[in-house]
Structure 1
């Protein structure tokens, strides 16, 4: 009787009904309105944009012909981003398609490129990230793996010496919320700046840029692709769902919460902003954070939208036997083929 569950459920349903009543359908004007409102709710960072000023920190030739570089660049005043840049052998001549690779929760960008937290090569199993950045570069893609703010080398100073898998999502997210912004918004903004960096390179084809995100990186990929039309192909693994059945159904990291978002959209509505550009969803049957049955339902709704836009072949889904992890059995080749690697 004293529990607030019924109140919260009624609130969700009320907002859902209000959205349905106000919806103008998938018109171009409505999509642009929602894109603008999403940016407002995430918070705006454009006025703080700083020159990229990229710098090469190290470069190593790997046994299979891949070049792995460590670089850094600026996104805003006071924000420098370390990132791994993986170059296929073929990238040394001509322009190649490129992918922004967004890691999930863990110890950061090193986990995506097959390294241990100390930067040495991981001799063991790849873990839930499946060394996915390496898999992508092996398919002829230039791959940029930025360190997402709050992880790895981008934790706050007070927590920099914590356990390798720890993160600073809460203190960063809380500080931004009190400033009227969000950590999700900062990450989406930095994704845009990462794309800006790729466009400065003479080995990257600016018309063939995509993104691949897992878990929290799936949030980055989905939001940035929704806001940035330069993302021609997007893979989201271990994330696509609804706020109702995932983010509100269990405890998640603070980075998943966007104040006021349900007054404007549910997660599938935001994913729909990617249409009609290429989109691929991947989900494990035993993913305890993002239930697979809802992934299937979200995909079905998106597939209908893509069909209505005459782009039915531009969307795909792979459900694999597994947990909260990257599979890649189809998604790696899918994004390479869609970007014509």
Structure 2
């Protein structure tokens, strides 16, 4: 019989309750006012974007030549899949797939563009690109309804499926290899620890890489840079939300499974991935404020009623934040450019209303 090597603890002296009180006292100092005038909104937006650039470390990033390199090209059913890399910072390369419709721009016109960031448990770019020839990716596509990148290319978009830092071919040394757990997962927490200690953040690095991807899109003859959208699930929703908020070149955003109040979903549920955390973010803004930065450009938010990330209050925690974002769209008289699609389901990509919304926004 194995001897018990611990003792029973009757009471735990925790700190979370105090941190929630700190949150209530010190959060959202730069949140959107209840009834701002349009000029006040514009000033607020400029000030909050500047603050977010500071705390994410975006203002530390430096451009370098993109040096695009084609790695491989594969003919698929109805489209061509190319693998490219670009240099986003000096010495930092980002691999990504480009999915190009069968006819490409044979007619001489430029194509609408869609960036499709991935979330966790995706293997990186492989899930949005629907690499179902890889068994573990086939499971992820089934479980989370991944594969939205492939669905966009079959509608005639040229689609960009990047690896975020820490995922796919960008995993750091501690989680490299072909074993399924390592392949599907990421080193994003370790990267964020290092970034925060240098005054940066993983969120900032992710957004920077996507901004550089837009720079590359603008350089291509087959891309209509005036019609760029971004769509992602979960961590891909994080990337989409922040990119659209910080870069006005994104004309349409689809944020799936990532729109809720920080207190319920990231303070009380503090076991969620460390990549969500940006120094001082909660002091200045909540998620609805970040969404409000996108107005009046098109924004579709989709939420599953049973998504555990919504927190203990469920849909209330989501709709409170959507209401903040709605105030910004109302200021512009563009309420129809913001849509909240609620579906009966868990944490996955739904997409029932995505096609019509995106096609209307991007033409």
> Secondary structure at 2:192's aligned position in 1?
helix
Q: Which residue of 1 aligns with 2:117?
A: 102
Matches within 5 A, 1:105-116: 105-106=120-121, 107-116=123-132
- Partners of 1:318 and 1:178 in 2: how far apart? 38
- Partners of 2:169 and 2:354 in 1: how far apart? 28
- Partners of 2:285 and 2:132 in 1: how far apart? 39
Quick check: 1:257 aligned with 2:277?
A: yes
| Of 51, 54, 71, the match for 2:84 | 71
Q: Which residue of 1 aligns with 2:15?
A: 4
Q: Which residue of 2 aligns with 1:272?
A: 292
Q: Which residue of 1 aligns with 2:359?
A: 336
- Partners of 2:140 and 2:213 in 1: how far apart? 30
Q: Which residue of 2 aligns with 1:37?
A: 51
Deviations 1:259-284 (A, max 9, x none): 10122111111111001111000011
- Partners of 2:339 and 2:137 in 1: how far apart? 33
Gaps of 5+ in 1: none
Matches within 5 A, 1:293-312: 293-312=316-335
Offset of residue 61 of structure 1:
1.8
Q: Which residue of 1 aligns with 2:168?
A: 152
Deviations 1:67-123 (A, max 9, x none): 111111110012111101011134323101101101100211101111158599949
> Secondary structure at 2:143's aligned position in 1?
coil
Q: Decide whether aligned partners of structure 1 residues 124 and 79 sit closer, same or farther in structure 2, where only a CA change above 3 A counts.
A: closer
Deviations 1:190-222 (A, max 9, x none): 110011111111111111011002111111111
- Partners of 1:121 and 1:105 in 2: how far apart? 12
**Which range moved further: 127-136 or 95-104?**
127-136
Q: Which residue of 1 aligns with 2:147?
A: 131
8 Å Cα contact 1:102/1:218 also seen in 2: yes
- Partners of 2:35 and 2:288 in 1: how far apart? 16
- Partners of 1:172 and 1:24 in 2: how far apart? 39
Quick check: 1:91 aligned with 2:91?
A: no
TM-score, reference length from structure 1: 0.92
8 Å Cα contact 1:136/1:336 also seen in 2: no
**Which range moved further: 331-340 or 100-109?**
331-340
Deviations 1:2-41 (A, max 9, x none): 4324421221111147556999945211110000000100
- Partners of 1:120 and 1:245 in 2: how far apart? 32
**Which range moved further: 2-11 or 325-334?**
2-11
8 Å Cα contact 2:111/2:222 also seen in 1: yes
Q: Decide whether aligned partners of structure 1 residues 159 and 311 sit closer, same or farther in structure 2, where only a CA change above 3 A counts.
A: same
Gaps of 5+ in 2: 1-11
- Partners of 2:277 and 2:135 in 1: how far apart? 31
Max Rg structure: 2
Q: Decide whether aligned partners of structure 1 residues 190 and 87 sit closer, same or farther in structure 2, where only a CA change above 3 A counts.
A: same
Q: Decide whether aligned partners of structure 1 residues 134 and 285 sit closer, same or farther in structure 2, where only a CA change above 3 A counts.
A: same
Matches within 5 A, 1:273-292: 273-290=293-310, 291-292=314-315
> Secondary structure at 1:289's aligned position in 2?
helix
- Partners of 2:28 and 2:166 in 1: how far apart? 36
Offset of residue 128 of structure 1:
0.6
- Partners of 2:192 and 2:159 in 1: how far apart? 27
Offset of residue 48 of structure 1:
3.1
**Which range moved further: 247-256 or 18-27?**
18-27
